Amino acid sequence: MTISDLQKRELIAQAAAVRPLAYAPYSHYAVGAAALTPGGRVFTGVNVESAAYPTTMCAERVAMYKAVSEGERVFEAIAVVTQNGGSPCGGCRQVMAEFGLDTLVLIADESGNLLQEATVRDLLPGAFTPKDLPAQA
């Protein structure tokens, strides 16, 4: 899956634009994400923290879950923007793997500088996917 440099910049810009909407009163680490589908739709998300820390939800999953809730199941790319270009957590990598190991992941800092570009497969080698489950009768 290949997207143009312009599409990469636009996706990063959309992730950066929603990042200020993050609810991060505990970590103070705001994250914005924007997921691109093959049809050109973009779904954005931000991290939403909770005082009960395990119930916190990452921006990447919010964006992908929004897309899935509207019928999307395949992604071309997802941009993740943080203050310092932090990489998606393991949970987010696993959810991304569910919908495509070849999805392009763009990791950028708050200035929009693309710091890393990798596929989900690169970020999660040996991913557990639906093919690893036993066949159902």
Give helix 90-98 / helix 59-69 axis angle, nearest 10°: 20
Catalytic residue among 10, 49, 60, 110: 60
Please name the residues in contact with 40: beta carbons below 8 A apart, sequence gap of 6 or more. none
Please name the residues in contact with 50: beta carbons below 8 A apart, sequence gap of 6 or more. 56
Length of the chain, in residues: 137
**60 counts as catalytic:** yes
Cα–Cα distance measured from residue 75 to residue 13, given in angstroms and rounded to the nearest whole number = 18
Looking at the DSSP bridge assignments, the partners of residue 35 are 43, 78
DSSP state of 21: G
Catalytic residues, by residue number, are 60
